[in-house]
């Protein structure tokens, strides 16, 4: 252990020579005494200084002290001092640099194992959990066949997830299982990005706890699905991690990475734009905020220029792609200026209903992110009691939490998956080095101070009770998500898709009405007969449900492009039309007339959620088999009963009456 002590390292920086002897260690022990022979003073490095170093590397605090400590007695002595300084710096770099790398690889393997075990039920399920993901698969099918999303298929959501799904399908094949496994890789990457942000902010211990909790609890909110939020989570956290690293190191490249990750996330889902206030406002004020000693935040110009360059790159590449294919106007109209998107963000409810929805949003924190909420609130209460002052690290973490909640509040729906934006910020807030989750185990009650001991014990008990209740809640939701993902939730859509695929060619068109019917496109492997492949928020009203309340019935909107849809349907003449029972098309007289005149219901396909219509001139290639008909019960045949034979009754024998003899008179 002499070498690590001579270099100012902690004892675990190098194994004991008795445990792993080597010639290299023996040679280093000879050189370890050289600085002390030259009268040099090596400054010890504290654990907090280790966290402040770039990449977590531990180096000598100030090598200029070596020169100041070297005695001035000739060139030979100076040469030895310079040699000693080089040896010290080299040994620090070689001995210590490998330790964080090995440690981080171990953390990565741990996070990968947790992600695999937690998400295992969904890795082999060939079916949809949420019909919203069918929009991703439909646009990926457009790309597979040479079409362009947003141009050949109207969509108000970001196109980033479409190209991700298309890329995975090109490499691994067209399957829901492929996307399910790719989404698990993205979840693993999100945990790694959160680990990196935690290292920059608080060190490896806090970062490890935050990343492990994220890997365990993220399936509660994303339901182990392939929905938009799963793909958005990685660039959302990566943008914050790069921004934090740039604030610490002051390097321009980290702000380029911030802008790039932010743009990629915004192309996947618009809600990522809620991070913009933190990225734009904080650089103006971080020079006035207290920062850790080793942090060197750059000027606002460096931060803004880097983020601008990184932000422009993805949008410029996508814009050039659409311009070459004649779809630039479609990209601008649907991504930036879609009327349905702005109508969804504004909401159609009154003030009283919006206040109730805000209450639903607050209650949803305790329902779907209970453990992070308890940890974050406990950390905030402890900081306020200790005389908290706003610092740069606090501004980063609190701003990340608020931006995540603002993103979840767009539209005021507060669905379960929306809380995935809030989860990483709450975890970082809850794993602060001075948070109660760490302090409660390290604190020693002072003897004789009974009031303080009682107060600390009381708050510790309350903290652990709340944490236990939150753990039970989150474990229950996690178990439910794992149980639901063992089987697909769209068997009716899959059955109709197989019937359509068996009776159509690849170039034939179909169409569906209603969100429950969207998965039919994937299962049938057929495209829509109109660019409006789904009608929600376009021909109908929008959904109004939250996690606590059901949606109002979806109704037909006559002000939508109904005439254009009917004209395209009459031109393409889809062979099959599937209608979902949960969305009413009453009032859409043109669709009602089209179904009545040109289509007939397929009675063999019985479903409580969907209705399959076949064009009347379509001949069955493989007729669907209906449910087995119930055989009528044969009438019960009554056997003729044998006539009852009455036994002859024996004649009644009357007993003779005994007449008493007359009595003589005396």
Please tell me the predicted confidence (pLDDT) of residue 434: 80
pLDDT of residue 352: 86
- The residue that leads in pLDDT, 660 or 133, is 133
Check pLDDT > 80 for residue 284: yes
Q: How confident is the model at residue 9 (pLDDT cuts 50, 70, 90)?
A: very low
Mean pLDDT of the chain: 82
Mean of the pLDDT values across residues 167-180? Answer: 96
DSSP H helix total and E strand total for the chain: 26, 5
What is the structure's pLDDT at 71? 45
Q: Which of 242, 236, 221 is nearest to 158 (CA)?
A: 236
User: Does the pLDDT value for residue 73 go beyond 70?
Assistant: no
pLDDT score at 633: 55
pLDDT at 341: 74
Task: Print burial letters for 176-204: b (CB count within 10 Å at least 16), e (below 16).
Answer: bebbbbbbbebbbbbbbbbbbbbbbbbbb
Q: Which is higher by pLDDT, 635 or 234?
A: 234
pLDDT at position 580 is 94
The residue-averaged pLDDT of 80-101 equals 57
Q: pLDDT for 288-344, tens place per residue? A: 999 988 899 999 999 999 999 999 999 999 999 999 999 999 999 999 887 777 777
* pLDDT confidence bin for 49, thresholds 50/70/90: very low
Beta carbons of 432 and 372 less than 8 angstroms apart: no
* pLDDT tens per residue, range 368-385: 999 999 999 999 888 887
Question: Across residues 61-86, what is the average pLDDT?
Answer: 48
Predicted confidence at residue 57, as pLDDT, reads 37
**Is residue 323 a contact partner of residue 270, using CB atoms and an 8 Å limit?**
no
Helix (H) or strand (E) holding 613: strand 610-615
pTM: 0.80
Residue 258: the pLDDT is 98
Q: Residue 43's pLDDT is what?
A: 39
Given phi > 0 = left and psi -120 to 50 = alpha, else beta, which region is 166? alpha
Statement: residue 37 has pLDDT above 70: no
pLDDT digits (tens, 9 = 90+) for 478-509: 999 999 999 998 999 999 999 999 999 999 99
DSSP string, 473-531: HHHHHHHHHHHHTTS-S-HHHHHHHHHHHHTS-TT-EEEEESGGGTHHHHHHT-EESSS
């Amino acid at each position: 252990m002499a070498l690590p002590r001579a270099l100012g390292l902690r004892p675990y920086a190098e194994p004991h020579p008795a445990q792993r002897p080597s010639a290299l260690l023996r040679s280093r022990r000879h050189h370890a005494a050289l600085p002390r022979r030259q009268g040099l003073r090596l400054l010890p490095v504290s654990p907090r200084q280790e966290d402040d170093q770039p990449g977590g590397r531990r180096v000598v605090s100030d090598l200029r002290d070596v020169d100041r400590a070297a005695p001035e007695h000739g060139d030979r002595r100076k040469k030895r001092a310079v040699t000693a300084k080089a040896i010290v710096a080299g040994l620090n770099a070689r001995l210590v640099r490998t330790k964080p790398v090995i440690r981080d690889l171990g953390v990565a393997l741990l996070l990968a194992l947790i992600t695999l075990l937690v998400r295992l039920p969904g890795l082999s399920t060939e079916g949809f959990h949420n019909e919203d993901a069918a929009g991703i698969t439909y646009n990926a099918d457009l790309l597979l066949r040479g079409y362009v999303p947003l141009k050949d298929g109207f969509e108000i959501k970001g196109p980033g997830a479409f190209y991700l799904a298309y890329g995975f399908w090109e490499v691994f094949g067209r399957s829901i299982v492929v996307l399910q496994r790719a989404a698990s890789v993205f979840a693993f990457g999100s945990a790694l990005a959160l680990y990196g942000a935690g290292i920059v902010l608080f060190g490896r211990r806090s970062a490890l706890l935050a990343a492990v909790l994220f890997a365990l609890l993220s399936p509660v909110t994303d339901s182990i699905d392939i929905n938009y939020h799963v793909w958005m989570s990685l660039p959302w956290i990566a943008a914050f991690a790069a921004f934090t690293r740039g604030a610490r190191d002051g390097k321009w490249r980290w702000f380029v990475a911030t802008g790039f990750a932010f743009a990629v996330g915004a192309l996947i889902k618009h809600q990522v734009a809620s991070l913009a206030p933190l990225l734009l406002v904080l650089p103006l004020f971080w020079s006035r905020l207290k920062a850790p000693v080793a942090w060197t935040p750059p000027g606002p110009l460096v931060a803004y220029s880097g983020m601008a360059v990184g932000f422009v790159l993805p949008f410029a590449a996508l814009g050039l792609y659409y311009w070459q294919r004649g779809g630039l106007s479609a990209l601008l109209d649907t991504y930036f200026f879609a009327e349905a998107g702005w109508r969804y963000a504004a909401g159609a409810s009154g003030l009283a209903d919006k206040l109730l929805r805000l209450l639903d949003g607050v209650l949803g924190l305790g329902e779907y992110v209970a453990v992070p909420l308890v940890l974050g609130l406990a950390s905030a209460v402890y900081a306020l009691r200790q005389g908290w002052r706003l610092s740069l690290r606090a501004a980063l973490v609190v701003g990340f939490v608020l931006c995540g909640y603002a993103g979840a509040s767009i539209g005021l729906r507060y669905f379960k998956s929306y809380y995935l934006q809030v989860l990483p910020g709450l975890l970082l807030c809850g794993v602060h080095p001075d948070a109660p989750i760490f302090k409660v185990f390290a604190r020693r009650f002072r003897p004789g101070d009974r009031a303080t001991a009682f107060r600390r014990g009381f708050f510790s008990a309350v903290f652990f009770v709340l944490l236990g209740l939150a753990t039970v809640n989150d474990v229950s939701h996690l178990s439910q998500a794992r149980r639901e993902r063992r089987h697909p939730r769209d068997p009716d859509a899959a059955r109709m898709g197989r019937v359509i695929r068996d009776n159509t060619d690849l170039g034939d068109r179909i169409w569906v009405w209603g969100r429950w019917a969207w998965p039919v496109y994937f299962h049938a492997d057929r495209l829509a007969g109109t660019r409006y492949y789904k009608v929600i928020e376009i021909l109908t009203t929008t959904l109004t449900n939250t996690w606590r309340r059901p949606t109002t019935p979806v109704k037909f909107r006559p002000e939508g492009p109904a005439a254009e849809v009917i004209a395209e349907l009459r031109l393409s003449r889809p062979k099959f039309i599937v209608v979902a029972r949960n969305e009413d098309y009453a009032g859409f007289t043109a669709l009602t007339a089209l179904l009545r005149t040109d289509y007939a219901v397929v009675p063999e396909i019985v479903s409580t959620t969907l209705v399959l219509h076949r064009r009347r001139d379509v001949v069955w290639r493989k007729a669907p088999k209906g449910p087995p008909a119930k055989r009528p019960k044969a009438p019960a045949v009554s056997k003729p009963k044998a006539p009852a034979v009455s036994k002859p009754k024996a004649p009644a024998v009357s007993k003779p009456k005994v007449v008493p003899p007359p009595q003589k008179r005396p």
